Amino acid sequence: MGKELGLQQMVGVDGGLMRFGRERPLVLDSGARLPEIEIAYRTYGRLNADRSNAILICHPLTHDQHVASAHPLTGKPGWWTQVVGEGRPLDPARHFIICSNVVGGCMGTTGPASVDPETGRPYALSFPMITIADMVRAQAMLIDALGIETLFAVIGGSMGGMQALQWAADYPERIFSAVAIGASPRHSAQNIAFHEVGRQAIMADPDWRGGDYALAGVRPEKGLAVARMAAHITYLSEAALQRKFGRELQRDGLSWGFDADFQVESYLRHQGASFVDRFDANSYLYITRAIDYFDLAASRGGVLADAFTGARNVRFCVLSFTSDWLYPTAESRAIVRALTAAGARASFVEIDTDKGHDAFFLDEPVMHRALNGFLEGAGQARGLRAA
């Protein structure tokens, strides 16, 4: 099967790198094509005999395929160990869990830092613009290559939730259920504005060099760190920042200067500084742009329900957080309204928390119980048993 599809794989027991040859270019929404793409992915658990237990996790903007195992660059635990693991809602003992780095990313999947086979040099800004639908198209190629026809579930938070919705719009017959957490059917003006601040910070860094920093052997670390700091504020909430930091100082007394006097400053600086160790600045530009371009209803005359007409048989679970001001509950309600209008089987819970958008990474027992209940019910409907 590998040969027919023009792919070579290097599969470890728990993931690897899937290579697609020139016979299988990735055709993008912009009209451009990416020949010879590579998709880096991780898996946890085993595919069962009837291939019915596969779950695809779609990662958010600043994360990657290392969902529940140590990150190769930082050594830190995976970003969703609260949800994925033994006895968790996504359990490798029952599910075959897949997560792949998105196209345009920087953890092994083809992106702006990859070498352009035409020129032999890094793509940098000659990398074509990508969209959420392009990311999903690449994921579908991976799922094909892994021999999986239908996913038991596609699950994501934030940008990952957008991908889960895009799966429902583009491949409804290939998913049994879908979970969108803290997601939105389109990026709002305020969110585009925050992304633009981040991009301008990167592009204003002299080390960005028009995107060609790799050739010069430098990295726009300052710009990327500022982008991360600004974005990180949007992932929290006023209440959570107040609870965690208040006006607490780093040391006794003010410095009467511009050092990080306040703990919140120090925290943000740390967020920025550690981010640049694991993320590529051009990837940040491309992926934030893909999110800005996301508007599921736009190509359907503004009628969101029309995106889900093929998804009547898909079970949906939509979750939002009361303090999420990046993708507020109203956005999730718009999704649920459209799913209901399309006749899909939708469940929706708004979770009460002060932790803001990032609540979906954290220890949120209500979210975990809701996810568990939903997947349990869906699993029974699909006849899943332990692998």
List of residues contacting another protein (CB under 8 A): 315, 317, 336-337, 340-341, 343, 345-352, 366, 369-370, 372-374, 376-378, 380-381
- When the beta carbons of 17 and 366 are compared against another protein, the nearer one is 366
Least Cβ distance, residue 104 to another protein (angstroms): 34
Among candidates 37, 40, 39, which has minimal Cα distance to 116? Answer: 37
> Cβ of residue 33: shortest distance to another protein, in angstroms?
40
Comparing CB distances to another protein, the nearer of 254 and 381 is: 381
Kindly tell me the burial class for residue 368, based on how many C-beta atoms sit within 10 Å of its own C-beta (0-12, 13-18, 19 or more): middle
Q: Could you give the CA distance from residue 105 to residue 361 in angstroms, rounded to a whole number?
A: 20
DSSP tag of 48: -
Instruction: Rank residues 29 and 350 by Cβ distance to another protein and give the closer one.
Output: 350
Catalytic residue check, 195? no
Number of Cα atoms under 13 Å in the Cβ half of residue 82: 14
H or E, element range at 79: none
Dihedral, CA of residue 176, residue 180, residue 181 and residue 182, to nearest 10: -170
Q: Which of 343, 339, 367, 340 is nearest to 353 (CA)?
A: 367
CB of 327 to another protein, least distance (A): 16
Single out the catalytic residue among 158, 283, 323, 332: 158
Helices 189-204 and 281-293 sit at what angle, rounded to 10 degrees? 160
Beta partners for 315? 177, 345
Record the tokens describing residue 261, joined without a space.
């006097």
Annotation marks residue 324 as catalytic: yes
Annotated catalytic residue, options 63, 95, 195, 357:
357
Q: What DSSP state is assigned to residue 84? A: B
Tokens standing for 237? 């909430």
CB 173 to another protein: min, Å: 19
CB of 37 vs another protein, minimal distance in Å: 37
Nearer to another protein, 366 or 387 (CB): 366
Give least dist CB 364 to another protein, A.
12
Name which of 224 and 336 has its Cβ closer to another protein. Answer: 336
User: Inter-axis angle of helices 221-235 and 263-275, to 10 degrees?
Assistant: 120
Beta bridge partners of 178: 154, 316
Cβ at position 340, least distance to another protein in Å: 6
Q: Kindly tell me which of 145 and 319 has the beta carbon lying closer to another protein.
A: 319
CB-based contacts of 188: which residues, under 8 Å, 6+ apart? Answer: 331
Nearer to another protein, 209 or 345 (CB): 345
Active site residue 100: no
Dihedral of the alpha carbons of 247, 250, 254, 256, in degrees to the nearest 10: -110
Strands (E) across 29-78 are located at: 33-34, 38-44, 54-58
Spatial CA neighbour of 67 closest among 94, 36, 38, 89: 89
Choose, from 91, 280, 324, 358, the residue flagged as catalytic.
324
Q: Which residues are catalytic?
A: 158, 324, 357
